[in-house]
């Protein structure tokens, strides 16, 4: 059976926001899809897009993202945590985490300094990719962390590690901030108007990744984490080539990340533009392919304030003319 699993985070806005953001938007195809989901939908728990994609890629609960990515990045087997470079911005009584873009030279230089500082702790920092740093430990860290993708834009003071070894890792977290605070590289970055690196974010503990055998055969997205996860899991993947066209793949996962990226920035004009592209270049050709029988079903997953709304659309649903369209401007709760 040819199936397309379409995942759209931040499509379903709260009613008060939706009324303002979606005013005047014409989305007849998405309206038809939403009209069907009024009666056929299922509510799934609220979770980050990255966690949902991990599940769809067949990763078991509790698997170590750090060890999975480390293996893909060519690192030796062992106990790894992600230790990604971040900027902690002081906002009144909050310490808000932001991601930082670095180059390979600076990443390696900072890792060398960290290795000298933490040599007695038995830690080894590596940066095989400027945005993917790791720390190697002698034993599995006995703590629970918050994934970077859940911490971005949040106050980190309530997201620090918990568990048996949490205090030791929080101490290291604080030491790193002191080490990087007046680092010469950061002084140069700030003088050039670039965001400094003033901390690392530890995350990704868990069990050893085993063999992954997902139903998904191909992932199409420009979402960085989803593409990295596909590569690390050995799944075929590509960026968007619009308008979407059906092919011979039995099970595609399509992740439309544009709405989420705009919503995180609070850029609602960009959100409207992404929605218009979604309607014309993806939803419409998907609907037409379903009606013509070129695909057998669409598994539609829409993220919003009330969690993930899941529905299955079959070919017969494209002919259900009696079902009313639903406007995105009415919001969803």
> Considering the chain, what percentage of its residues have pLDDT values greater than 70?
94
Same domain? 137 vs 33? no
Same domain? 191 vs 226? no
Same domain? 187 vs 299? no
Find how far residue 36's CA is from the centre of its chain: 27
The dihedral built from the CA positions of residue 315, 26, 304 and 161, taken in this order, carries a sign that is: positive
**Tokens 């494209």 found at:** 318
**pLDDT tens figures, 187-245:** 888 888 888 899 999 999 998 877 666 778 899 999 999 999 999 888 899 999 999 99
Cβ(329)–Cβ(22) under 8 Å?
yes
- Residue 217's pLDDT is what? 86
Last residue within a domain, chosen from 171, 203, 235: 203
Is 153 buried (19+), middle (13-18) or exposed (0-12) by CB count in 10 A? exposed
Q: What is the pTM of this model?
A: 0.88
- Residue 323's pLDDT is what? 66
CA separation for the pair 259, 129 (Å, rounded): 27
Beta 124-129 vs 132-137: how paired, if at all? Answer: antiparallel
**Helix %, strand %, coil % for the chain, to 5?**
40, 25, 35
Smallest CA-to-CA distance from 74 within 119, 2, 111, 126 is with: 126
Same domain? 216 vs 127? no
Same domain? 280 vs 235? yes
Average pLDDT over residues 319-332: 71
Cα dist from 186 to 107, 145, 238, whole Å: 12, 26, 35
Q: Crossing angle, helix 284-292 and helix 28-40, to 10 degrees?
A: 60
Q: Is residue 44's pLDDT more than 80?
A: no
Q: Is residue 306's pLDDT more than 80?
A: no
Same domain? 153 vs 229? no
Same domain? 223 vs 273? yes
Same domain? 72 vs 197? yes
Same domain? 179 vs 262? no
CA separation for the pair 326, 29 (Å, rounded): 10
Grade residue 32 by pLDDT with cuts at 50, 70 and 90: confident
* CATH number where 260 lies: 3.40.720.10
Cβ(59)–Cβ(209) under 8 Å?
yes
**pLDDT tens figures, 132-144:** 999 999 888 999 9
Range of the domain at 159: 65-203
Average pLDDT, the chain: 89
The domain tally of the chain equals: 2
Token readout for 127 is 């940066």
Same domain? 175 vs 126? yes
**pLDDT tens figures, 277-296:** 999 999 999 999 999 999 99
Last residue within a domain, chosen from 203, 230, 246: 203
Same domain? 134 vs 167? yes
Smallest CA-to-CA distance from 252 within 289, 216, 278, 296 is with: 216
CA separation for the pair 156, 172 (Å, rounded): 15
Angle at 298 between CA 292 and CA 301, to 5 degrees: 155
Q: Which helix (H) or strand (E) segment is 96 a member of?
A: strand 94-99
Q: Is residue 333's pLDDT more than 60?
A: no
**Tokens 């953001």 found at:** 21
Same domain? 41 vs 118? no
Last residue within a domain, chosen from 185, 203, 221: 203
């Amino acid at each position: 059976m040819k199936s397309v699993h379409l995942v759209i985070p931040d499509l379903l806005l709260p009613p008060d926001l939706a009324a303002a953001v979606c005013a005047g938007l014409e989305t007849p195809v998405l309206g038809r899809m939403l009209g069907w989901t009024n009666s056929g939908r299922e509510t799934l728990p609220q979770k980050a897009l990255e966690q949902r994609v991990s599940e769809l890629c067949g990763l078991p609960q509790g698997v170590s993202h750090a060890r999975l990515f480390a293996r893909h990045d060519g690192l030796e087997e062992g106990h790894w945590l992600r230790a990604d470079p971040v900027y902690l911005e002081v906002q009144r009584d909050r310490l808000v985490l932001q991601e930082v873009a670095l180059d390979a030279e600076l990443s390696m230089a900072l890792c060398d300094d960290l290795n000298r500082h933490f040599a007695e702790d038995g830690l080894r920092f590596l940066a095989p990719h400027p945005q993917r740093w790791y720390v190697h430990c002698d034993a599995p860290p006995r703590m629970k962390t918050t994934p970077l993708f859940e911490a971005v834009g949040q106050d980190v003071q309530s997201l620090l590690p918990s568990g048996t070894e949490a205090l030791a890792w929080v101490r290291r977290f604080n030491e790193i901030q002191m080490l990087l605070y007046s680092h010469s590289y950061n002084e140069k970055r700030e003088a050039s108007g670039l965001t400094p690196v003033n901390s690392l974010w530890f995350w990704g503990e868990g069990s050893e990744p085993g063999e992954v055998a997902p139903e998904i055969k191909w992932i199409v997205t420009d979402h960085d984490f989803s593409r990295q996860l596909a590569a690390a899991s050995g799944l075929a993947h590509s960026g968007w080539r619009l308008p979407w066209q059906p092919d011979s793949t039995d099970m595609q996962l399509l992740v439309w990340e544009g709405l989420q990226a705009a919503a995180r920035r609070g850029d609602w004009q960009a959100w409207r533009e992404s929605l218009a592209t979604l309607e014309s270049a993806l939803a419409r050709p998907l609907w037409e392919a379903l009606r013509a029988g070129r695909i057998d079903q669409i598994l539609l997953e829409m993220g919003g304030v009330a969690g993930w709304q899941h529905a299955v659309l079959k070919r017969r649903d494209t002919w259900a003319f009696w079902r009313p369209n639903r406007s995105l401007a009415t919001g969803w709760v």
